[in-house]
Structure 1
Amino acid sequence: MPDKPAAELPIDARLIRTLLEEQAPHLAEEPLRHAADGWDCSVWRLGDTRAVRLPRRALAAPLVRHEQRALPLIGPAVAATGVEVPTPVFAGRPGGGYPWSWSIVPWFPGSRGIDVPRPARAAWAGALAGALRALHVVAPGDAPVNPVRGLPLQTRADSVGARLSAVAAAGAAPPGEVAAARAAWADALAATPWSGPPVWIHGDLHPGNLIADGGRLVAMIDFGDVTAGDPAYDLAVGWLAFDPAGRAIFTGALRDAYDAATWTRARGWAAAIGAILLDHSDDNPDYAAIGAEALTELASDA
């Protein structure tokens, strides 16, 4: 991805304490410590079992509202599979000089999926498949709208073509792998589009947004891009996260749920996301590695 943008306003412990004292006083005395700053949100541990999630910039403010809208609807069904989601336990509002909505969410102990070696992720490929089966149900007409995720691939044809060309020009992946990615993208563009009703999709599903504990998948997190559309976007995680053995478990567990065209589009999305991550992850080697490995996986099963 492009370099992470700077926060548009300072987020510190004093601000969060003020918000808690005004809106959630029953939690205002809990221990508070900074956990991470992502592209869109700052995350702070609140006690042992919760976290505070606050947008860092105006463009991210709607994402928290989308989570507050969608996760209470989809969270219970996904959690019933044994994979948790960060359904807000408190939906905060602007206050204390802070202009945007914010949330208190559960904190899930474990490791980022990105920190689990790719072969070891096979242990939770079936669990992720079950969670997506529960997630990919028909969404209501007022589901959050994302301008990119879950749309027909043709809407991204020029952009993804340019990304693949940039990867090739930079030598960011071997020529054979770039060729395999181009072929996967071309096949996806030619595949039958999604003709069913829009279903809920995570919209940003990759190993960095999965939490694991040993061989167990604990949670899917960061639903800021949640939207309704073509489930193929989420299914691209089969190449973003897994090696051939893990991918065989993942796709096998879902083979009755999606037709061949959907899996072809999923491979195309994996090529697209891999190229995007490779083209613009100079400041984040973890995400560049996801992109490189995705193109390697596509080439391995071409």
Structure 2
Amino acid sequence: MTDTKIEITAELVRDLLRDQHPDLADRPVRLGARGWDNQLWRLGSDLAVRLPWATRSADDLLRKEYTWLPALAPRLPLPVPVPRRIGEPSAQFPRPWLVTTWVPGVSGDRAPATRAAEAADALAGFLTALHRPAPGDAPAGGHGRGGPLADRAEQFARQLASATEQGLITDPGAVRAVWDDAVAAPGWAGPALWLHGDLHPANVLTLDGTFCGVVDFGDLCAGDPAYDLAAPWLLLPDGAADRFHAAYQPAPDAATLRRARGWAVLQALGGLLVGEAGVRGEPGGKPTWGPPAQAALRRLTATVR
């Protein structure tokens, strides 16, 4: 159910298409996935319909994707869901929705990358292509994404305390050491670069042990690349981060890598808590988020001296 109390069904999707995009209405419709903000319905073999179903902010995120992603997608070396049509709010469904290309694969929280070298090269190639200077009217990151890491200190302290109280972390001091070092690093002095803004394991797709696509650009924004450069610790197998850093261009400086580690800790703590909520059957919880978050924290704290 959406927060507007409208149940999303295949029949509703067909009705919306008949009303606004009738040339697509005869294609087969079936449920593809239910994400944090949106439901994804397969539309034939090559398209999908994305409809917001949980958070009100999803409306603006869909419109942002429709505005910016078609221009960025051609330069990206991994497939992404490119918006083709937009659906406007109507009496049937009072929120915007998108028709996008369909990207096949399995989400990385369910099928983690196992081919370390191939996955590291694929991720580095994707972020090298994406991280280019953004125009002045590019969107700013929500919730501090791409901004100063220190602005998230309160969130870090709250999440670390919660994870420690729940017994999810055995060495909170090591986690804090990574964070403190990251906050102490010099800030980003370069131009604001395009960022994906949400590269957690559920937003990358895998096939045969490596990455085959990246989805959910609702948090697309401009800022410090360190935010996205947290991804190697969150997405790659053990020992693959060095390969990523060698392949990513231009090579990140030491300060950027320190900030990236801090963002990785923050994102891993969030994933750990969402995963535990899923184990407990709480609303919004996703049990598959816990294991990759735990692995990321293990990798990050193993380097604390």
**Aligned mate of 1:138, from 133, 158, 162:** 133
Q: TM-score, normalised by structure 1?
A: 0.91
Q: How does 1:136-175 map onto structure 2 within 5 Å?
A: 136-148=131-143, 149-175=145-171
CA distance in 1 between counterparts of 2:32 and 2:194 reads 28
Q: 1:52 aligns with which of 41, 49, 52?
A: 49
Match of 1:264 among 258, 265, 268: 258
Q: Tell me the residue number matched to 1:70.
A: 68
- Residue-by-residue CA offset, 1:154-183 (whole Å, 9 max, x unaligned): 1101111221122122210222xx322211
Corresponding residue for 2:299?
297
Q: Secondary structure in 2 aligned to 1:244? A: coil
In the aligned structure 2, how far is the partner of 1:95 from the partner of 1:125?
44
For residues 187 and 289 of structure 2, the distance between their equivalents in structure 1, rounded to whole angstroms, comes to: 28
TM-score by length of 2: 0.90
SS for the counterpart of 2:68 is helix
Q: Which runs of 5+ in 1 are unaligned?
A: none
| 1:41 matched residue in structure 2 | 38
Task: Please point out which of 116, 121, 124 is paired with 2:111.
Answer: 116
Partner SS for 2:256: helix
**Secondary structure, counterpart of 1:172 in structure 2:** coil
What's the secondary structure of 1:232's corresponding residue? coil
- Compute the RMSD of aligned alpha carbons: 1.8
For the 8 Å contact 1:122–1:247, the answer to whether it is kept is no
Hey, what does 1:202 align to over in structure 2?
196
Deviation per residue, 1:97-147 (Å, 9 max, x gap) = 212221111112222222334543542210110110110111112222333
* Distance of 2:241 and 2:65 partners within structure 1: 28
Instruction: Render the CA deviation track for 1:207-266: whole Å, top value 9, x for unaligned.
Output: 211112214422110111111111111111111112333212111112643211111000
Q: Is the 8 A contact 2:114 2:209 kept in 1?
A: no
- Name the residue aligned to 2:282: none
Structure 2 residues not aligned, in runs of 5+: 279-285
Partners of 1:298 and 1:230 in 2: how far apart? Answer: 20
Q: For residue 288 of structure 2, what is the aligned residue in structure 1?
A: 286
Equivalent pair of 1:198/1:230 in contact (CA under 8 Å): yes
Answer 1 or 2: higher relative contact order, Cα 8 Å, separation at least 6. 1
Map of 1:106 onto structure 2: 101
More displaced stretch, 27-36 vs 205-214: 205-214
Inter-partner Cα distance in structure 2 for 1:272 and 1:110: 27
Structure 1 residues 117 and 202: CA distance shift in structure 2, 3 A: closer
Q: Secondary structure at the match of 2:104?
A: coil
1:19 is aligned with what amino acid? Answer: L
Distance in 2, matches of 1:233 and 1:180, equals 21
Q: How many residues align?
A: 293
Return the alpha-carbon distance in structure 2 between the equivalents of residues 172 and 118 of structure 1. Answer: 23
Q: Percent identity of the aligned residues?
A: 41
- The answer on whether the counterparts of 1:122 and 1:243 sit within 8 Å (CA) in structure 2 is no
Kept in 2, the 8 Å contact 1:243–1:297? The answer is no
CA spacing shift, 1:50–1:105, aligned 2, 3 Å: same
